[in-house]
Amino acid sequence: MTAHTRACLLWGLAFFAAAHLGMLVATQSFWPHLRDPEFGYKLSALRRQRAEDPNRPLLVLLGSSRTGQGIRPGVLPELRTLDGRIPLVFNFSQVGSGPLAELVTLCRLLDAGIRPDWLAIEILPALLGRTVDAFGDVGTGISRLSWKDVILLNHYVRDPQTMRHRWYKDQLYPWYAQRFSVMNHYASNCVPWRLRLDHWKQLDRWGWSDIGQDNQPLVLNPTALEVTRTTYYVDLQTLHISSMQDHALHDLIALCRREGIPLLFYLMPEGTIFRGWYAPAVSVRINDYLTRLSRECNVPIVDLRTWMEDKYFGDSHHLYRQGATLFTRRFGPEVLACLVQGKLTSLPSLMTPFSAPYPEEPPDSGARPQVKTRPVHPLSPTLSIHRGQEPGERSSPAAK
């Protein structure tokens, strides 16, 4: 009996260790949807699209939930390159993404063997002052990181030692760390609503968050608006450009140059309520910084914040389904077509630089990854497209 009990115990421990090791290997390699559902489901959808026509050129959209809900590649008017090819446009945005998260996502795509032919990347101005976005928080979301993500983020987060410690801790018991992701994928009905992550299964073929109905009422949602105000109002009153976000943006541009990927940046539409939260000094600071970034790095930045009417927003910054359709059908021919045809200089320039140095806070002391860049070409201005100034709206000094 003693020998039998010992054998059972040893086999149980071996099974326990093997199960954890297997889960760790799976989530860090071929099952990314169990580690990071949003990234994993979009990666699977993109791979399916690529498998249908591997030779088709690829244009990837990176951004926040604004892009996730606001750009529908499936309704884009047909885009053609100068040699007549039709690109595949895929929405690879992720909730809460700023420059750091977009850099991590691009690195993940390249590691997965997916190299976009073009990139259109959203800049959410309110995140430019934060030291974290969807990635970089050492307290939450650690379990969604891969080992390569941790190595990359070491150069940006304020406390890399704490981040590494918590990440290593999660790797010791991956079944526990990923329990909600596993349940959401295989048994979502057993998960409380506040912990549900299975809505990523509702993505359409092009990565768009397929939510709502075409005939849904176009009314402002007071609850959602208050959440938006709580999330962004303070930032828009006091924002100073974060050195971490500035570093991430520059490194993102440098990586694209090293890989030979043409890119542009764009600012998604905002309602008049949201735009009214910008303090005048913050508005000037953001416009000045983006103009300087564009000219220094020779990358266009397209300002689309006034493109859509208020009725198309549920919370003054996320577009309803109807708004997403209308915006996409204009965004494609007027902006994306210029990207795939190499005609970015045909977009009008409406911003002029100021002279204050940026970033305003001291640079981080940690070393940054060195990325080799291509030779700098003649400078191009920041780009901005507007529907026209709305009645009663004051022009910012940066737009004069």
| 192-217: pLDDT as tens digits | 766 666 566 678 889 998 777 777 77
239: alpha, beta or left, given left = phi > 0 and alpha = psi -120 to 50? beta
Structure tokens at 65: 């939930």
Distance CA 358, CA 288 (A): 9
> Average per-residue pLDDT in the chain?
80
Closest by alpha carbon to 248, among 61, 145, 99, 363? Answer: 99
pLDDT in tens, 269-312: 999 999 999 999 999 999 999 999 988 888 999 999 999 999 99
pLDDT in tens, 1-53: 788 888 889 888 888 888 777 777 777 776 777 778 888 889 989 999 999 99
Distance CA 386, CA 388 (A): 5
- Residue 348: band (very low, low, confident or very high) from pLDDT cuts 50, 70, 90: low
Residue 333 φ then ψ, to 5°: -65, -35
Q: What are the structural domains of the chain?
A: 35-135+193-399 (3.40.50.1110)
| E strand intervals along the chain | 58-62, 88-91, 118-122, 263-267, 301-303, 383-384
Does position 176 have pLDDT exceeding 80, yes or no? Answer: no
Distance CA 95, CA 117 (A): 23
State the pLDDT at residue 146: 82
Distance CA 34, CA 71 (A): 26
pLDDT in tens, 143-168: 778 888 888 988 888 888 888 888 78
Does position 249 have pLDDT exceeding 60, yes or no? Answer: yes
pTM: 0.79
Distance CA 191, CA 180 (A): 7
Contact 276, 306 (CB under 8 A): no
State the pLDDT at residue 199: 63
Distance CA 133, CA 245 (A): 9
pLDDT in tens, 256-278: 999 999 999 999 999 999 999 99
